[in-house]
Structures are given as C-alpha cells and as structure tokens.
Chain A
Amino acid sequence: MAGFFQIPFQTITFVDRDHAVAPSLLISSAGAKLYSYAAETGERLASWPQDVAVDSSKAIGTEASSEGQGPPGKRRKVSEPSDQAAEGPTESQKVTWSNIPIVLASSNGQYVIALTAEDKCIRVFQLSPEGTFQQLSQRTMPKKPGSIILADNERSIVAADKFGDVYSLPLIASSEPYVPTQRPRAKNTEGPAATNLTVHTKRNLEALEQQKLYKNQNKQEPQKTALSFEHQLLLGHVSLLTDVAFVALPVDASSGQKRTYLLSADRDEHIRVSRGPPQTHIIENYCFGHTAFVSKLCIPHWAPEFLVSGGGDNFLLLWKWAEGRLLQKIPLVESDATIVVRGIWAATFGNSPEVSRVILVAIEGSSQLRCFGLESDGTMKSQAPVQLSGNVLDVAISEKDSTITVAVDSIREPQSTQEWRASPSSILLEAFHAKPNASCLEWEPAAETVVAKINTTGTSDIPATADQKQKKELNDMFYSLGNLRKSAGEYLFRARKLSESRKVALIQFILDAAKIPDGVLAVGNVFGPNSILEIVGGESGTTGTTPLVFNT
C-alpha cells in the first residue's frame, strides 16, 4: 500500500483574467473544499474554507461518525434560514457539507459561484487579484439545485432544483434586508380548508373535528420559513430538473435585436424552451426526442441556434432548438449499452481561418473524452477522442491557449464507477493542447509543469481506513447521474423516520406493487445517504437485485 488516495477534483473551471491585472486561475473543488491555482504555474493560491481541519475524513465521513442523526443531505428543513449578508470571516464556519458539486465563474473573472451540496447553499465569492476567495453571500435554497447558471448579462443567478423549480437570484445580493412582497392578508382564516360540505366519510369528518380542536388550542402555528433573500420563481416542471441554459438569439439576420430564452431539461425526457425573463411563463416549444432522462444541455457560444443534449440515452441529439427541430442523432456507443452523459462542452480553438469548433463529451465512468466537430451547416462528426489515465470528471477549457484541463478520477479504476484502484494514482489533472490538423483536432499533452505541480500539491487524503461504506459514499458523490434512470423495478421512496414495523409494512407494499412473490426474497437494509434496500428475488425465481433508493 503505497501512499494515500487523494480526493479527486469534482469540478474544474478556468478563470480567464486580464494578465496585466491578475493572473488567470484554475478554480477547482475537491471534497468539501474549493481551491484556486495560478494557471501559469500551478501554484496553489488559496483554499476555502480556510481553517477547517484538513482531516478530510471529517468532511466525508460525517454521516457515519458524527452525531449519528442521519445524513446531512436528507434534512427536510433547514431550521435557520441563513443570512443573505456576508458572514464575515469564514474561519468560524462549520463545514456542514461533504462536497461542492457545482462551481462556476463570471466571465469577467471577478466572482465565483459555488453550491455546497448538503446545505443546498449557493455561495458567491469575490476573487481577489491574488486568487483568494472572499465569500459575499450564502443563500440557502428550498431544494438542492441540480444546475446553476448566470443569466441576464451575468447580473443574476438562475438555479434549477430537483423539485422542478427554476429560481432567479441577483448575483450580488443587495445590502438592504429583504422584505418579501406579501399580498394583502385581509382575513386570517384560521382552521382547515375542508368543511363538512366537502368531506363526508366518517373518518374524514372525525379528522376535521380534530383539526378544528387543534387549531383552537394552538394559536401560534409555527411560521413557515420563506426564503429570506430576493428571489423569483421563473418556471416549474413537475419533474427533477437536471440542467438549464440561458441564451440570446438574434431576431433576424439584419437587426441587432436579440431575444432571450431559457431552456430547461428534466428527468422525464423533456427539454422545454421558454422565453427569457420576464416572460418565462410563455413556453415557446419543446424538444422531443430523448427516451431517457436528459442530463446536459450545451449551446455553443459561437452558434447559439444549435443545442447539443445528452443524458441517459446512448446518443446525443443536435437541435435547432428555437424550432424544436431535431437535426441529428449522434450515436455514442456501438452496442446498445446503457451510458450516461456526464458533461458536454463546446470550444473553439485556433485562429481564423483555421478554426476548429468542437463539442467535447464526457460519459460517466469513461476515461475517454469524446470529441466531435460541429460544422456550421448543423452536422456533427466524430473525431479522435482524448484518452486519459482515469475517468473524466470535469473539463476546463482555455480557448485562448487552446488547452483543456481535465479532472480525472484518481481513485477508481478507469471505466468503472465502483471499483477502486489497487494502488493510488497521483494524477488528478491532465492538460492537453489542441492542434488543428486538416479535418480534425490532434491532442498533445500540455502544460506539464503546471499539472505536475497541482498533482503533487494534491488535495486531501482519504484515510487509509476508509471502509466499504465510505467508499460507497465517495462513489455516489462522484457518480450519481445514473440514479436518474427510471427502470422497471425501481421505486423511489421518500419516507421520514419510520418505525421498524412501518418499514416492514412499506417493504411489503413495495413488493406487492412490484408483484414480486414473497418467499423468494431476502431483504437487507442499510441506512445512510441514499440507502439501498436490496430485494433479491424475482418473478421467474431468478436471483437479481432491485435496488430501492430509500431515503429516511
């Protein structure tokens, strides 16, 4: 056993800054921490939060060890809505999250927006010229956002959450305390909405009586906590939202006038095209074509009329999205294997006239970064992929330098989302230079010293004592998109604390619903984040496992 496993980078972003003012940066998140590196040298400039114990086992293994009150991510209500205002030094902050799944930077290189996972908190940081983070605001969302983007000339943050709602928040929260715009409350109608005119059965009437009694006794109802900062609900799906995109499209070729749109993708195969704020309630059309969940939308900045979408299907779709028109279906694998698209990026390299316009695609648990050329006539052609030493986790693109920096999985075997390597790999990042060549791009390793420096600096260690459970949590942290897939035997349950007997009843109910004959099954339950109830058995008597995601 040589050395420790290092937590891989979950996200990586290139922040382009004017060289005269401040060096360009690579911003990355690993585990519970955010890091900034000088893009030129690879030197680590800062990390956030600063004075948190480096012992990463704390951050990762919290659910297992501390408190023992269930995983932090599954808390139903954040009891204290956090203040929108800056909290001052972050030293005192308690780290209540295990990872930072979303990090993005404003194009002027001034701000970084990060989402901390379990506390559902969108944090905005100001980047100093030296590359340090100063937290300006933290805003706790009602549900965990699955995608965060900047819109409206980067003045607002648009966040799409797992309950299907899309919110807009100002990037810079105003210093004034937020006063929610309440509609006039003329009459406080205490008591239940039901009356004996609307419910009739004996039990319902009894319940109604009880409620009336209860209301009279308890005058002080606990006030529900509304969001304590300025926000707007833009639109909603009755589904889990996976990605959003904000885009401006010229009205016609001649006039410089532009219209803005908001595209939203969900777990039920939909891509909705709505008008941009303030008309997000007007749906222009839908892009129908996916047969499994959609996980990523990518609108190339050089050709905003196109959209590349991917998800649980083993193909990508290329759209003329404003018309809802499907242009091309691009197969990703030859067989009918099930894959999940993890990320889609668009980039242009080189100077005119020799410009290469490419779409890069990462597939979950794959060590190849797929590469496609996107022609201006709206066709996509496959090019040689980039081969990496581990699974692709995220990609940062610097068009100026024609390089890409890829965060690779150093702890799991390439091509696997579950199997850990026998010995640790020290490669967290790899960088490549794009060389336009005839019809396709060639990739050669680049910026070796920078990457080597970052790799040797490392992130934080995973304790050698990591057991199966911790490993599994780490696997889930990095590879969770596959859970979006609907499958024949899959049941998603949200249940609160259940007694043992209720649990048994619930399991029986699931089995009834799944028409699995009892007698041929063994039920094991493990509790933790996304606990898996395994049901072994099946209709034909063959033994298979049906994972049931069971959140307590």
Chain B
Amino acid sequence: MKKILRYTVAFMMMGAMISLQGCEDYFDLDENPNLVNDPPLQTMLSTTTQKTGLNSQRVASITSFFVQYLAGPTAGGSTDTYEIADYTGTWDALYLAMADIHDMKQKARTEGASEYVGVANVMMAYHLMLVSDMWGDAPYSNAFVSTTLTPEFDSAEQLYNESLTLLDEAIAELSKTDSRVKLNAESDLIHNGNTSNWIKTAYALKARQLNKVSETSSYDPKAVLAAVENSYTSNADNADMGVFTTINPWAAVAQNNALLVLGGWLSEQLIEHLKGTTTGIFDPRIEQITERTVNGVFIGTPNGAGNVGPASSTVKDESYISRNSPLTSDEAPLIIVSYPEVKMIEAEAALRDDQRQRAYNAYLEGIRASMRLLQVDPAAANTYVTDPAVAVGAANLTLDLIFKEKYVITYLNPEAWNDARRYDYKYAGFTLPVGAALNTFIRRVAYPVGETSKNPNTPDSAPLSEPLWWDR
C-alpha cells in the first residue's frame, strides 16, 4: 500500500512539474491566428484601391436616384422620394475604407514609400469628398485612431480644405523619385502602378473640388484650369477599378433585374434627356447605355411612381441598366473620375473665366471623349457633335449646355449629384419625384443610425432640403 501511495505522490508531483514548466508558454495565446500584424504594403494597396472603386459605386447607388439616372421599380421607394433613409452600410464602408487608407499611409510613411503615401492621400481625399458631399460635417481629424471611440465632427468646409491639402501633398509625394517601395502594379487596381496617372488623378480631383465652389466667393476659375492642365489627356488616363469577386456591381443589379429581382431601372428623366424629348437632340450614347425594350423603344420610369403602364413588370417594357454597356458590363471597370468629365470642368471654368474658345474646345472634346469611352459608332458620334444643337459655336456656349452634356458624362457617377445641386437641378424637364417627401429638391442626406447611435458627437441632421455650405 505504501508503494501505491508513493506512486500516487510521485505521479502527482510529476504532473505538477510538467504543468509548471509548460505553463508560461502554454497560456501565451495573445497572437490571434486569424490576424497578421504587419501586412506588406501591396496587400494594403489592393484592399484600398478596390474599396475606393466600390465605394464610388455604393455612393452612386444612392445619388443616382437623386439625379434621376435611376428610378425605383416600385412606387414610393424611400431613396427615390427623398424620405429619410438609413445609409449606415454606405457610411461604414466609407469609413472602414478610410481606416485602411490611413493605415497604409502610416506604414508607407515609416517605410519611406512616398508613392504609397501619395496614393493614400489621393484616395483619402476622394473619400472625404464622398462623405462630406453626402452628409456635410463628418469625422476626420481624430477618426481612425485608437485613442478615441467617439470621434469629433469636422465641418464640411474643413474637410473640403483638408481634401485639397491631401491632394497637394499627394502630388508632391508622387513626384518624388526616391520612393523606397515602388507601387506594385498588380495590386494597384486603379492605375496599375502608374504614378504619373495617379498625379493626373490628384489634379482631376483637385479640379473637381475647386470647381465645386462655383457658387461661393472663393471660386477661382483660373485655379481650376491650372489643375485641369495637369490632369488627364485621354480616356486611357481615367481612374477606374475593375476587379470584382464576381461581376461589376451594376452588372449584378442588371443580372438580378433580368431574373425579376427588380432594380437598375432607368429614370424617365435620363431617358427623355437622351432621346432628345427635353433637349431637342437624340443622343447616340443611349444605345450604349441601355437597350431597347421588347417594344423596340426606350422608356424610362418616373421617379417615385414605380412601374407604369398596363403591363406587369415581368414584361420587359422599360429601360434598365444594361450588361452590354461599356460602363456596366460584367467586366466593366467602375469609373471614379474620367477624362471627359475633366474636359467639362475645363469648359465650365473657362466659360466662367470668359475664355469662350477654350471652353468651347473643351466642351466638344469632352463630348467626343465620352462617345469614345462609350464606344459609340464614330459616324453617329460625329453627327451628334456637329449637330447645330450641340455645335453652337464658342459665342453661344452656355453653362446650360455644359451641364446638359455633363449630365450624360457622369452617368452613374456620384459627382453628378454635386453638379445637380450646384446647378439647382435646372436640367430640362427635371421635376420632383412623385410623392416626394420634400417640396424642394434634395440637398443632403441624414446621418446614419449606425453613427448617431454610437457617437454622441453626431450633430442633429439638418432637413434634407437644406443645402451644403458650397451649395448656395
């Protein structure tokens, strides 16, 4: 029996010793196996460039209803009719992308990777534009840092200025030739590692920003033109992103719609504009944007009214986003900012600066570039560009004509809503949606529940009819 007792004690002691020795390491499970600590810059670049492209589409999937490119297939859709809707998903996607951009920039700084710093700045500036042009004031100066869980809101004007600073810094960083890490072409889903295109994009965004304040006293058309001059020279320079898990998100909307999960219905406003009902001239781009209905015509849906006509929605008797369009096909890249748009900015700024010929040239080149981008038949394009309604001559060029053309160029781009607001929605035939919740056009959206519920610094949302600071 003594023996057994001895064995017992020995056994226990052994057990205790083993657990003692093993103990320190045994409990070291601080490292989360699902995370990495120091991802290479290129893996952050692929994430951030893709998110930037997708966020442009996410925002556009809201604003395209406001500018009446799209219309709800069902009457009384909340975005369609200016109801207060909760865009938490979009807000979160924007901020989580900005956090990744912020992290990439920090890491690039430490590594002396000036090219990555520059790219991060461009994308950050772009996100600030998207956020503040939707909601106005928004967190930035102490956002994405782990020191506060309730970031403060910066004024929309501060964000505007910050975006310009970021773009200037980006241009400086991208111009450096001694970047310790070069942009990885495969991971750069926007410009394939081409720094000079990134610089052009920085200037294009700068031109957008400077032109956006056309209604304020600080507007300087010469500064806009200076930015334009350093920007894109052809569609090959466009900032776009075309890497998707499955297909282009617009194409996915069209695909679902074909399977009667309805969406992507084009607004009557856009269709009538392209058909020339409201503009007086048939625009050949319509064939490259959408398809004819089963009845061989183009029919848009009035915003807020939903499906019209006697036929049910199972009969494809209205126009939708098309998977055959160069802009919305399965593999089409999402365009963030394009050469034709920059030309239109040039046209507007030049016109406001009374440089009529320059304005006119830019106006025509913008249209032609847009036709090329949409792969319009050159003959048809030429017919349009030379039509007296379009080729009015430098002396007769008006802002209305520029906005009319730019409306088509920015199809499904979030920038369209900025233009619409600056232009006070004065597009020909533009009316309030049926059953609108406001008695004026929409000027902003309400802060999302996701932020209001978790960040007490969130200001009360202004009425959706109240213009942003630059939109007076």
Partners in one complex: no
User: Using a CB–CB distance below 8 Å, which chain A residues touch chain B?
Assistant: none
